[in-house]
Amino acid sequence: MSALYDSGLEPDDPIIAVIKPGVTVTYRLLPKDIPSDPNKVWRGKVVWCDRDTILVELLEPDFQNLREYITYQQIVGVS
């Protein structure tokens, strides 16, 4: 993660308490997803979450109204 990118998370924040439906998160795809740009940061609105998985609705142009599951480890920021 770049030092110029403000994740919005404090080092001791329990991320599970921060993530809830309606929150916008930024995240990166996992290597197993074979992203064409592994450093690209995606934006999505949380639709549903539990202790392990988050369902987000993508907010990226050309990907709106698509949903995908991510993990807490993929998150780089919260707004």
Digit-coded pLDDT (tens) for 31-70: 999 999 999 999 999 999 998 999 999 999 999 889 999 9
The pTM assigned to this predicted structure is: 0.80
All domains of the chain in start order, with CATH: 15-78 (2.30.30)
The CA–CA distances, whole Å, from 18 to 26, 30, 32, 34, 63 equal: 13, 21, 26, 28, 25
Mean pLDDT of 6-19: 65
pLDDT tops 50 at residue 78: yes
For residue 3, name the pLDDT band (cuts at 50, 70, 90).
very low
